[in-house]
Amino acid sequence: MINLEVPRKHAGLVDQAHQLAMNMLRPISRKYDRAEHAYPKELDMLAALIDGVSETGATGGAGAGGVRRESAPAGEGTVRNGANLASVLSIAEMCWGDTALLLSMPRQGLGNSAIASVANEEQLERYRGTWAAMAITEPGTGSDSASITTTAVRDGDEYVINGEKIYVTSGDRADSVVVWATLDKDLGRAAIKSFLVRKDNPGLKVERLEHKLGIRASDTAAITFTDCRVPAEDLLGSPEIDTSSGFAGAMATFDNTRPLVAAMAVGCARAALDLTRDLLEQAGVVIDHDRPAQSQSAAAATFLRLEADWEGARLLMMQAAWMADNRKPNSLEASMAKAKAGRVGSDVTLSCVQLCGTLGYSEAELLEKWARDSKILDIFEGTQQIQQLIVARRVLGLTSAELR
């Protein structure tokens, strides 16, 4: 049976992540928000520290790079609190410090989670230590990942990739990119595969870095691929096109990464709630969890509503991760967690700005920054609307062709 409390085995990890967020990320948050595209050098030391802890096995594979479903089921009557749950809990704590800096962590790219989702065991070993960005979105293709036009054509022992990707998180800093491309446009979704392409590969070019509303410390790139040759062994997973499974192989990546994005929203929103409570109390607003909201001030009642909404997002996040750890299909729950947390993140951070008035809107506090940062968490890895569409299909038992 699922228990949505923080497992004792992960309590130390959660505390360590919070301390890192508070003492290393939060102090440099404003600095790198203003210095857009400047690499946060402080993260190199933090990455080395995380690598050292990971090698001891103490984290259970926490972080985007460690998310992978267990290869064997738990024993009868037992449950597993593994890498997926450890990852969302630690990521939420790190994003309490700064979401953009978490996204800038070396070897913790979303592409690493894609590798963990679909790579075979030999590839996992070969790619150990790489920092992988993930390239899905195209100029004419946003949330409908199944309609991507980037092509990969087999030529002997290589694939030749041609196309353009935009909004690639860590696309400039990462040392490799997981590129989604189609092997045969006529075969639709089933022909979409992912490839690990190294940044120094001829034919790969970073065209530009985007200027953004939020997560400014994280570089977001546009990348083109022109006759980019990739060894056939760098196609992640199986090269076979199975039309019966449709888009299942590629979607396994999202089942892992969507709870991670939900965790980012949960962490950012928690930061806003914590600071807002302190500022309200300094202003004389008492928030009493033992009294009905309607008997308290409007500000206190609003805060209680936001906190309850946040708790719902957090529990959905933990459920989706727990199901992955225990080898339970979690596509529905991953989309529910992403949809709820993405919406809650934006609502909570903007509402906290409103509650705190001039302090919320000015750069005197980080509230305005968190409101800017949180918006992307409702957009990338599938927008709010796409998540609701996926949930509706799952609940109603309809295909993508039957419900668009």
Catalytic residues: 381
Q: 176-182 and 132-135 as β-strands: parallel, antiparallel, unpaired?
A: parallel
- Residue 274 to residues 28, 271, 299: CA-CA distances in angstroms? 19, 5, 14
Q: Is 101 helix (H, G, I), strand (E, B) or coil?
A: helix
DSSP state of 216: T
* Contact in structure between 226 and 175 (CB atoms under 8 Å): no
The token pair that represents 365 in the structure block: 């506090």
Residue whose token pair is 């708790």: 311
Q: Cα(79)–Cα(119) distance, rounded to whole angstroms?
A: 25
55: Cβ–Cβ under 8 A, 6 or more apart, which residues? none
**Nearest CA to 279 among 364, 370, 373?**
364
Do 30 and 366 meet the contact criterion of CB atoms below 8 Å apart?
Answer: yes
Q: Give dist(CA 327, CA 323) in Å, integer.
A: 6
Rounded to whole angstroms, the Cα distance separating 350 from 343 reads 11
- Token pair in block for residue 37: 């595209």
Say whether 8 sits in a helix, a strand or coil: helix
Please name which of 276, 280, 268 lies closest in space to residue 370, comparing C-alpha atoms.
268
Number of Cβ within a 10 Å radius of residue 111: 33
Torsion of CA 166, 118, 125, 73, to 10 degrees: 140
Alpha carbon distance 15, 91 (integer Å): 12
Q: Which two tokens stand for residue 388?
A: 């609701």
Are 265 and 374 contacting, i.e. CB atoms less than 8 angstroms apart?
yes
Closest CA to 38 of 207, 217, 220, 222: 217
Residue 36, number of CB atoms within 10 A of its CB: 17
